[in-house]
Amino acid sequence: MSKVLYIKANAKEKGQSRTFKISDSFIDEYKKQNPNDVVLTLDLYKEGIDFLPIGQLAELHAPEPGTGKNHPILKYAFQFLEADKYVIAEPLWNLSIPAILKAYIDYITVTGITFRYTATGPVGLCTGKKAVNIVGRGGDYSTEPAASFEMGDRYLKTIFGFLGITDYITIAAEGLDVLGNDIDSIVGQAISKAKEIAKNF
Ligand SMILES: Cc1cc2nc3c(=O)[nH]c(=O)nc-3n(C[C@H](O)[C@H](O)[C@H](O)COP(=O)(O)O)c2cc1C
């Protein structure tokens, strides 16, 4: 039995987000294929994820051994570590990830929980896990020169790798705000791809 953490990062209401239409389809298909797995949804806006608070960085970056899983911020790092698989749903905002998702990364990237320092450098502690990032983009970043401007998925892939998660794939719906594009068709194709990948995720 696997534990899946479904991390949602969009300010849009349910039914409005194209990204969530694709990611919810992924999750539905995944549940169909893996009825005994546990899927935990973490909606970062509903959760009220915020910037790291003033005056607590030392405590958060090198927590005392035994600091409990009930800590209001560190609990997210423990929860992240306990998952086997991650499904991230996020729109491209200003060439990167939404700020609330970056704030969440600041919550979960904790020395001694999700990574640790060694004599030869930092080592990720979230090994043997896998992730899929599902992203909706207003423009089309699938080819150069636009591809180089896209820093959200590249950042997520890099920070997940830092935490030890190198099995990372991306499902991108491109050109969702380009006038004249057939948006239903783009979303439909992304949903088909998401369902295919969900079958063996
Ligand atoms: C705050 C904000 C910033 C955005 N920045 C970009 C951007 O840099 N590049 C882009 O192509 N689209 C940008 N968009 C458009 C979204 O990427 C696009 O609408 C995407 O499909 C949103 O997916 P959604 O329907 O799930 O919200 C931005 C949208 C918002 C609200």
- Index of the ligand 1 atom closest to the CA of residue 137: 17
Ligand 1 close to Cβ of residue 147 (< 6 A): no
Ligand 1 close to Cβ of residue 177 (< 6 A): yes
Ligand 1 close to Cβ of residue 109 (< 6 A): no
Distances (CA, A) of 170 to 56, 160, 190: 34, 13, 11
CATH number at residue 19: 3.40.50.360
CA of 120 to the centre of ligand 1 (A): 39
Statement: residue 14 has pLDDT above 90: no
- Index of the ligand 1 atom closest to the CA of residue 16: 25
Ligand 1 close to Cβ of residue 14 (< 6 A): no
How confident is the model over 21-64, as pLDDT tens digits?
999 999 999 999 999 999 999 999 999 999 999 988 888 887 77
Task: Specify the pTM.
Answer: 0.97
**What is the reported pLDDT for 77?**
96
Structural domains in the chain (count): 1
Nearest CA, atom 7, ligand 1: 94
According to DSSP H, which parts of the chain are helical? 18-33, 44-47, 57-61, 74-82, 99-108, 146-149, 152-162, 183-199
Nearest CA, atom 10, ligand 1: 138
- Among candidates 80, 97, 197, 89, which has minimal Cα distance to 133? 89
Q: Mean pLDDT, to the nearest integer, of 154-168?
A: 98
Four-point Cα dihedral 174, 178, 184, 186, nearest 10: -20
CA of 144 to the centre of ligand 1 (A): 19
Nearest CA, atom 19, ligand 1: 138
Quote the domain boundaries for residue 193: 3-199
How confident is the model over 91-107, as pLDDT tens digits?
999 999 999 999 999 99
CA of 59 to the centre of ligand 1 (A): 35
